[in-house]
A = this chain, B = another copy of it.
Amino acid sequence: MSTGLIPRHELEFQLYEVLDTEGLLNRPRFADHSRETFDSAIETARRIAADKLQPHNRKGDVEEPRIENGKVRIIPEVKAALAAIAEAGFLAAHHDYDSGGSQLPWAVAQACHAQFHAANVATFAYGFLTAAAANLLETYGTEEQKRLYRTPMIEGRFFGTMAMSEPNAGSSLGDVRTRAEPAGDGSYRLSGTKMWISGGEHEMAENIVHLVLARVKGAPAGVKGLSLFLVPRYRLDADGRPAEPNDVALAGLNHKMGFRGTVNTLLAFGEGGDCRGWLVGPENKGLACMFHMMNEARIIIGMCAAAMGYAGFEVSLDYARNRPQGRPVDAKDPDGPPVAIVEHPDVKRMLLAQKAYTEGALALGFYLAALVDDQKTAPEPRRREEALLLLDLLTPVMKAWSADYGLAANQLAIQVLGGYGYTREYPVEQFYRDNRLNPIHEGTNGIQALDLLGRKVGMNGGEAFRLLLGEIHATAHQAEFDASLAGYGKALRGAATVAAEATGILLDARRSSGAAAALCNATAYLDMVGHLVIGWMWLRQALAAKSASPHHQGKRHACAWFFLWELPKIHSLARVLINLDTTAAVMEDAWF
């Protein structure tokens, strides 16, 4: 059976044919690298994914973390896999050499991580949370915090979490109640309860470093009074070794439908009155710091949803190629030999849709990863600024669109396998359960939509959105020089124009008639922009797929499918958005 990993030629296509990842080698930061070192990192990641992660994907689901004698017990394969990942340097692949990293481009690091997501998302979650937390400390931590905490994190000795939500504060972070009081020695005493903390408690690491949002006594109400604290499970002794417990108590485990291998916890901080935390970044600027981690996490969640979608695509493709059933619809002889179901048009449709969704989302993920690299290392300052603008704008799109359509892909994967796909003997039902988390965590998709329409498209006078439209029109223009793609160029241009019109009307309405009417269809707006961006990604891929190779033919064909069956959605959605429809908003509770 198929491994369900992302084929190497797909990753290479995204990095080297659609994007110019090799061009990064001209930048000083990547001077020691070469195409060979990139490929070797990707190949190492593939080996770890296949050998260390995938074999226990099902086991981690069936034998989910549980409490035994007060300790969280997790199957040993998880720790072993994470050790292999850390040892190979994948938790800090893009960090500075000085900080223990390998200075790989973020895009290459994501190509490595995508394979971990596809192989075993629940196990790698401990890794990417730790990497994201380490990254946050790299940016906002003091030198001491970096030395004492970040270094052991990228070495895989300490793990990291982000602790924001509380039982009564999920989407509404302004209602966070966890308190912090200065202890007089530079540290703070924390007290409060945090909910939904992934990786919040286990015995796999020497220490767990929680990044906790809390409110310093006397701070303003709402999100403007939140500060970020580093709260270790164990305090460190003079030599930096974990020593006495830091009054962080496990208050319970959440039992999820999927993503079961990642322990999810309710944590009580400071029940004994002696939980110490150290401020990260300035007081009352905690949310801004946390967003550094969250933005990274949101792109990663999108990649993760795409990769899991891809895994299901691969498994269902393999099944379809090997399952004989039925005959072509024109065949007359009921005794004739059956064909593999991949020959049936409806099965091809389900495979093509999976390909269009997951490779579209992957392309966007790698595009964003390249923006991260540009933002940090592009020689021209203007390009760095542009990269940051596009990154801010597209992060919520990547997170939400990819989560929705990665899941849609997994749903189709089950359908291709039919009854078999519905059984736990095949992996697709687990992908479908695991992937269902992605529209929920790291900010629900509804929150992403509000972020996009309520904040991002209007920021800096709409500069980021104009920039995006410019890039889209540039691709459309390029396509118009290629006879076979000119029609798609025109269609993309038309879609961009109508999306721009809807955007303008919504932004105007927001200024004139208040936020409520403009924002009430934010989800539909994100779906529209998402389809526009993914249509653009498909045209970019088609432009890069000029050869007669089967892989390139498939790319052009999937582009055609997306433009024909999916792109028109932009026009239907825009029509309703342009009318500032309030049908959902004015529905009264009593009418349900």
Task: State which of B338, B423, B565, B590 has its C-beta within 8 Å of the C-beta of A172.
Answer: B338
Binary contact readout A567-592 vs B (1 if CB under 8 angstroms, 0 otherwise): 01101100110000111111111111
Contacts of A581 in B (CB 8 A): 564
Taken together as a complex, chains A and B put the C-alpha atoms of A464 and B254 apart, in Å, by 52
The residues in A between 432 and 447 inclusive whose CB is less than 8 angstroms from any CB of B are 432-433, 436-437, 439-441, 444-446
Q: Is A218 an interface residue (CB 8 A)?
A: no
Contacts of A169 in B (CB 8 A): 325
Q: Is A214 an interface residue (CB 8 A)?
A: no
Q: Are B523 and A592 in contact (CB under 8 A)?
A: no
This protein's copies in its complex: 2
Q: Are B424 and A444 in contact (CB under 8 A)?
A: no
Taken together as a complex, chains A and B put the C-alpha atoms of A287 and B551 apart, in Å, by 43
Taken together as a complex, chains A and B put the C-alpha atoms of A75 and B325 apart, in Å, by 36
Minimum CB distance partner of A444 in chain B: B418
Taken together as a complex, chains A and B put the C-alpha atoms of A348 and B346 apart, in Å, by 34
Minimum CB distance partner of A326 in chain B: B172
Q: Are B584 and A575 in contact (CB under 8 A)?
A: no
Give chain A's interface residue range (CB within 8 Å of chain B): 35 or more
Q: Is A78 an interface residue (CB 8 A)?
A: no
Q: Is A257 an interface residue (CB 8 A)?
A: yes
Q: Are A334 and B557 in contact (CB under 8 A)?
A: no
Minimum CB distance partner of A325 in chain B: B172
Task: State which of B174, B258, B349, B414 has its C-beta within 8 Å of the C-beta of A523.
Answer: B349
Q: Is A494 an interface residue (CB 8 A)?
A: no
Minimum C-beta distance from A372 to chain B (A): 28
Stretch from A277-285, A301-309, A511-519 at the B interface: A511-519
Contacts of A572 in B (CB 8 A): 568-569, 571-572
Contacts of A522 in B (CB 8 A): 346
Taken together as a complex, chains A and B put the C-alpha atoms of A449 and B424 apart, in Å, by 27
Q: Are B172 and A591 in contact (CB under 8 A)?
A: no
The residues in A between 16 and 68 inclusive whose CB is less than 8 angstroms from any CB of B are none
Contacts of A223 in B (CB 8 A): 334
Q: Is A415 an interface residue (CB 8 A)?
A: yes
Q: Are A348 and B587 in contact (CB under 8 A)?
A: yes
Q: Are A345 and B516 in contact (CB under 8 A)?
A: yes
Which has the most chain B C-beta neighbours within 10 Å: A168, A557, A586?
A557
Task: State which of B436, B575, B588 has its C-beta within 8 Å of the C-beta of A568.
Answer: B575
Contacts of A440 in B (CB 8 A): 414-415, 418-419, 421-422
Taken together as a complex, chains A and B put the C-alpha atoms of A581 and B418 apart, in Å, by 25
Taken together as a complex, chains A and B put the C-alpha atoms of A436 and B436 apart, in Å, by 13
Q: Are A170 and B330 in contact (CB under 8 A)?
A: no
Q: Is A185 an interface residue (CB 8 A)?
A: no
Minimum C-beta distance from A199 to chain B (A): 15
Binary contact readout A487-507 vs B (1 if CB under 8 angstroms, 0 otherwise): 000000000000000000000
Contacts of A424 in B (CB 8 A): 255-257
Q: Are A565 and B576 in contact (CB under 8 A)?
A: yes
Task: State which of B171, B345, B514 has its C-beta within 8 Å of the C-beta of A585.
Answer: B345
Binary contact readout A294-327 vs B (1 if CB under 8 angstroms, 0 otherwise): 0000000000000000000000010001001111
Taken together as a complex, chains A and B put the C-alpha atoms of A355 and B588 apart, in Å, by 13
Contacts of A195 in B (CB 8 A): 419
Can you identify 22 A-B contacts, CB atoms within 8 angstroms?
A: A165-B419, A224-B334, A254-B425, A255-B424, A340-B589, A342-B589, A344-B446, A348-B585, A349-B520, A349-B521, A349-B523, A351-B587, A352-B584, A418-B440, A553-B588, A554-B590, A554-B591, A557-B583, A561-B583, A564-B576, A564-B583, A568-B575
